[in-house]
Structure 1
Amino acid sequence: MAGMTSTPALSPQTVEALVQVISGGSGTSMLPSIGIYRSGPKLESFMRACGVRMSMGSASRMPTLATAIEGVVARGDIDTLRQIIEAAANPADFIGDAARGEAVIEYLNERLIFDRMVLRKRGTKVELIDAQSNAPIVSALSNALAPINFDTVTRDLDRALASADSDPEDSVTSACSVIESVCRSIIVELDLEMPPKKDIQALYKVVRNALGLSPGDSFRDEIAEDVRSVLSGLVSCVQGVGSLRTHGGDAHGRERGFSRRIDARIARLAIHSASALALFLIETWQLKYPDLDLKDRPDPQTQPAQ
């Protein structure tokens, strides 16, 4: 789960909200159901799909469900907890009533935020992430990646978010890979030649030139200098993230007695900087080539020789 590595601690309010959403509330209530009403057998099936064995017997639906969820929290089983929360807001359960699905996500997030977690939509799915990693730019990049086949970028971004707190060196390495993967993907889509040296600066230079993003490129007179200043900053961002990966990341291994050089703040700085640049490159590529069909093919540079 992106950015979630510590033992989960759901508040009673969040547990109650989950119970209301998953069970659909009391069958005798006059109030409209927040989630989807599920009978006892349906609740057993729901929890079983999440890896939790729950037997209703003659017990009441909602207290039994609450006890089962509290047991998962008490065990510190973060993977199962993630499955339960994400399944509770699964968009596939709200086909034909998307507004209700959005309301469920909002209802849960109003409680989850106090547990430092949040649900966010990614394409056709929802994902539970650490609220501290939920910067708008990261969410925007995730949404931009959803409809295109840049799967390597998605994996690099997920890995960077997941390790920001527990392993900031690895997170920085993955943040750098986000930019490299976006550049390599665009190079492949545009049938450009890979640079002989495939480091972040060389890859970015090829993409920058192809998309007309060199600081010296001409723009409208009234904004030319401003845009050139921002583009110069992008070059500095690329150089900085690349250097941080070299000096503070773990791309080149770790020596015996390794001591941490960076902390989660720096890791998140690298993630957000890399995400901003990656999103800008993707949006610029899509703007300049709106009719280009995405090619469902691998990066030839990563394929084994025949």
Structure 2
Amino acid sequence: MPKLKGSEIRTIDKIFEMSDGYLLDFSDRTMAEYFEDEFSIDITQEKYQINGGSKAKRLRSFIELEDGYLVGQVLRKLWQYKCDYKPEDPQEKAKLFEILAKIETGVSASVLATLSTKAEVLNMDTVSRDLDRALESAFRDPESAVTSACSTLESVCRSIIIELGFELPKKKDIKGLFDSVKRPLGLSPGEINVNPEIADDVRKVLSGLATIVEGIGALRTHGGDAHGRERGYTRLDARIAKLAIHSASTAALFLIETWQLKYPSKELVKH
């Protein structure tokens, strides 16, 4: 993880109210429970107490020791936790997410991290929430991960449709939603604005993306957790769940970036 400047560490301290060893409104017990429940992390481990046992010092040690992607996810969750009981401060948010962009630079799940960052900046809370759920479920509950991956993409499509003032399609599954955003975003076969020499190639890529999106929806129907599980069912391969997460995230990121290009002055908010 990139080394943080002293000023950046102080910013984190201030945002998460870490003066005098505190961390937001957590007690030692509730902090330990929160890290265990949300991240399956034992924050009471000795390695996190190398600089002291206070809540603030344990979080600082965690930030120093762990992978940038994991640190980014924890700080995002703590920010959401704070905003649940205190009004969101736009200046604090801007400063925090600037630091998060640095923390997450070069981490392995780059597509997922980029999507999560853009979702927060665009105020698309549903995207971040669904993505977090998918990431957390990938190994311990692959069926849930597939459902969450599909929900991630649905959130983006639904928000685009509503922000443009269109009615949601009668069939509100992922295929119907994705088909509804292609034309207004200029992604339909006859509306692609690219160099004619590569137009056919781009159409093939977009056609493949549409097929992938449809496949994610079908996988959710047959292998996700949204439709219940019969006794004796065969668990979904975690590799396939991860593929669905990465595919849905890539598609959602592409839609967000296309929105930014086509409507640069219009903020995309969640619906």
What range describes the TM-score normalised by the shorter chain of this pair?
0.5 to 0.7
Are residue 112 (structure 1) and residue 66 (structure 2) matched?
Answer: yes
Find the aligned partners of 1:263 and 1:135 in 2 and give their Cα distance.
19
Residues 1:192 and 1:48: Cα distance change in structure 2 (over 3 Å): closer
Contact kept in structure 1, 2:142 and 2:241, CA below 8 Å: yes
Identical counterparts, % of pairs: 50
1:5-52 residue CA offsets vs partner (Å, 9 max, x unmatched): xxxxxxxxxxxxxxxx9xxxxxxxxxx9x967x9xxx88633695432
Please say if residues 176 and 241 of structure 1, whose CA atoms lie closer than 8 Å, have aligned partners that are also in contact: yes
**What's the counterpart of residue 72 of structure 1?**
44
2: CA distance between counterparts of 1:292 and 1:263?
40
Structure 1 residues 294 and 284 mapped into 2: Cα distance closer, same or farther (>3 Å)? closer
Using the size of structure 2 for normalisation, the TM-score is 0.68
2:241 is the alignment partner of 1:267: yes
Q: Which amino acid aligns with 1:254?
A: R
Q: Would you say 1:200 and 2:174 are equivalent positions?
A: yes
Give the match for residue 175 of structure 1: 149
Structure 2 contact 131–152 (Cα < 8 Å) conserved = yes
Deviations 1:243-291 (A, max 9, x none): 111111111111233331x122111111111111000001101111112
Q: Distance in 1 between the 2:199 and 2:43 partners?
A: 60
Q: Alignment partner of 2:172: what SS? A: coil
1:141 is aligned to 115
**Does the aligned pair in 2 maintain the 1:165–1:263 contact within 8 Å?**
no
Cα distance per residue 1:127-155 (max 9 Å; x no partner): 9xxxxx95110011011112112111111
**Which residue is equivalent to 1:241?**
216
Equivalent-residue separation in structure 2 for 1:148 and 1:48 (angstroms): 25
Looking at secondary structure, tell me which structure has more helix per residue.
Answer: 2
2:251 is aligned to: 277
Q: Which protein shows a greater Rg? A: 1
Please give the alpha-carbon distance, in whole angstroms, between the structure 1 residues aligned to 2:57 and 2:237. 29
- In the alignment, the residues of structure 1 paired with residue 57 and residue 239 of structure 2 have an alpha-carbon distance, to the nearest angstrom, of 27
Q: Which runs of 5+ in 1 are unaligned?
A: 1-20, 22-31, 54-69, 75-80, 90-103, 128-132, 300-306
Residues 157 and 174 in structure 1, CA contact (< 8 A), matched pair in contact too = yes
> Contact (CA 8 Å) 2:183, 2:191: kept in 1 or not?
no
Determine helix, strand or coil for the equivalent of 1:265.
Answer: helix
Distance 1:71 1:142 in 2: 24
Counterpart amino acid of residue 112 in structure 1 = E
Corresponding pairs, count: 220
Question: Is 1:52 aligned to residue 35 of structure 2?
Answer: no
User: Cα distance 1:47–1:195, how it changes in 2: closer, same or farther (>3 A)?
Assistant: closer
